[in-house]
């Protein structure tokens, strides 16, 4: 990917995009980051991420909404982009049940807006973040070709709609699209609404862990630097491909995660069990052979090392995290 032109990275204040931006900058790319500081979770951590990235002169941040086509046109008229990486989204399965329209407006129509403006300005490379949530009910490990017609939540449905919209832009207009289905991402500066972030904080603060279900739900946890690396590799020309980015290991139960975190934090967890949610998948596990073959990608960080780095970040930022809403 040429480095004379900048890359537009949406959702730049978000967890995964901020790590992706850091990697792009390390590799010598110029990055224009776009984010509307959506308040689904505590925005103070988003401001912190942007403040960190803004120390690099090759990073330029714009506060704005991907649903705003006029703004997008203005941004594209000022920058000749090499590619667009769309990580800007409303994430969160359970929240999408309460606000389905918001999810479709951002995740589906926001994606359509980006594709339309790219078409107008002659930008053809698009990377879209999608999700393992599309695989419910399928046989594990999940392969890309068996999937994807059983979204259990408006969140998953809005992502599926974005995926297939991209296909029509590839077919009609010759776009080159990498769709990345991420599997439960964790790491430093993570999302305060997600289990690992909350569990570390609650264990350390001696507060009860709110555990949905019996703790036997399992996930294919993936370290954020591995996800950022796969996302940058996906800038490669592929035609139109859907690829899983996951840890690729046997899924780990929430109970196992709690035990590992207790050891790393050095305290016992108090567990408060809540009913399982019917929009939550029981288990996820990625077959990652396609991303290996097409992108030369493989995760490098083991779950133990990834959790260790995450807990280390927590203690380094404990004062800031103490007041953060989770």
Residues that are catalytic:
155
| 289-303 burial: b if 16+ Cβ within 10 Å, else e | ebbeebbebebebeb
**Interface with ligand NAD (CB under 6 A), residue from 184, 189, 218, 229:** 184
**Interface with ligand NAD (CB under 6 A), residue from 96, 131, 178, 231:** 131
Q: How far apart are CA 182 and CA 241, in angstroms?
A: 14
- Please classify residue 267 by burial: count the beta carbons closer than 10 Å to its beta carbon, then call 0-12 exposed, 13-18 middle and 19+ buried: middle
Identify whether the C-beta of residue 133 lies closer than 8 Å to the C-beta of residue 159.
yes
Longest dimension (CA), the chain: 56
Q: Could you tell me the smallest distance in angstroms from the CB atom of residue 49 to ligand NAD?
A: 8
Query: Binding to ligand NAD by residue 16, rule CB under 6 A?
Result: yes
4 vs 253, beta carbon nearer ligand NAD: 253
Q: Could you tell me the smallest distance in angstroms from the CB atom of residue 270 to ligand NAD?
A: 25
Q: Could you tell me the smallest distance in angstroms from the CB atom of residue 324 to ligand NAD?
A: 13
**Interface with ligand NAD (CB under 6 A), residue from 6, 7, 9, 10:** 10
Identify whether the C-beta of residue 41 lies closer than 8 Å to the C-beta of residue 193.
yes
Query: Binding to ligand NAD by residue 189, rule CB under 6 A?
Result: no
**Interface with ligand NAD (CB under 6 A), residue from 67, 69, 74, 280:** 67
The string of DSSP letters for 127-152 reads EEEEEGGGGTTSPSSB-GGG--S---
3-state secondary structure (DSSP) of residue 315: helix
Query: What number of chain residues touch ligand NAD (CB under 6 A)?
Result: 29
87 vs 233, beta carbon nearer ligand NAD: 87
Pattern 90-129, ligand NAD, x by CB under 6 A: xx--------------x---x------------------x
Q: Could you tell me the smallest distance in angstroms from the CB atom of residue 326 to ligand NAD?
A: 14
Q: Could you tell me the smallest distance in angstroms from the CB atom of residue 96 to ligand NAD?
A: 10
What one-character DSSP code corresponds to residue 210?
E
Residue nearest to ligand NAD (CB): 14
Among 6-14, 22-30, 256-264, 265-273, which window interacts with ligand NAD (CB under 6 A)?
6-14
Q: Could you tell me the smallest distance in angstroms from the CB atom of residue 89 to ligand NAD?
A: 3
Taking alpha carbons only, the member of 190, 196, 280, 288 closest to residue 246 is 288
Pairing of strands 176-182, 125-131: parallel
Taking alpha carbons only, the member of 132, 129, 89, 90 closest to residue 281 is 132
For residue 219 the two structure tokens come to 């996930």
Query: Binding to ligand NAD by residue 87, rule CB under 6 A?
Result: yes
Q: Which residues bind ligand NAD (CB under 6 A)?
A: 10-11, 13-17, 34-38, 46, 65-67, 87-91, 106, 110, 129, 131, 182, 184-185, 191
């Amino acid at each position: 990917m040429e480095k004379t032109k900048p890359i537009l990275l949406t959702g730049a204040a978000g967890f995964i995009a901020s790590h992706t931006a850091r990697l792009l900058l390390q590799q010598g790319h110029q990055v224009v980051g776009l984010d509307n500081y959506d308040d689904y979770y505590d925005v103070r951590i988003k401001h912190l991420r942007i403040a960190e990235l803004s120390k690099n002169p090759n990073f330029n941040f714009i506060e704005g909404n991907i649903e705003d086509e006029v703004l997008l046109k203005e941004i594209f008229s000022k920058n000749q982009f090499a590619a667009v990486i769309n990580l800007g989204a409303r994430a969160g399965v359970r929240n999408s049940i309460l606000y389905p329209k918001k999810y479709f407006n951002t995740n589906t129509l926001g994606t359509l807006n980006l594709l339309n403006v790219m078409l107008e300005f002659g930008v053809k490379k698009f990377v879209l973040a999608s999700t393992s949530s599309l695989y419910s009910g399928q046989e594990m490990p999940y392969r890309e070709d068996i999937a994807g017609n059983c979204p259990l939540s408006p969140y998953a449905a809005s992502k599926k709609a974005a995926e297939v919209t991209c296909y029509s832009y590839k077919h009609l207009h010759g776009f080159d699209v990498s769709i990345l289905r991420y599997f439960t991402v964790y790491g430093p500066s993570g999302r305060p609404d997600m289990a690992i972030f909350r569990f570390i904080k609650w264990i350390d603060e001696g507060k009860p862990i709110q555990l949905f279900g019996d703790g036997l739900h399992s996930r294919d946890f993936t370290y954020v630097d591995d996800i950022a690396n796969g996302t940058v590799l996906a800038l490669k020309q592929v035609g139109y491909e859907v690829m899983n980015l996951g840890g690729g290991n046997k899924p780990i139960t929430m109970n196992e995660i709690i035990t590992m975190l207790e050891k790393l934090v050095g305290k016992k967890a108090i567990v408060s069990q809540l009913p399982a949610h019917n929009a939550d998948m029981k288990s996820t596990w990625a077959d990652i052979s396609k991303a290996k073959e097409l992108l030369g990608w493989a995760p490098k960080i083991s779950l133990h090392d990834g959790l260790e780095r995450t807990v280390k970040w927590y203690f380094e930022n404990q004062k800031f995290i103490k007041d953060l809403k989770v």
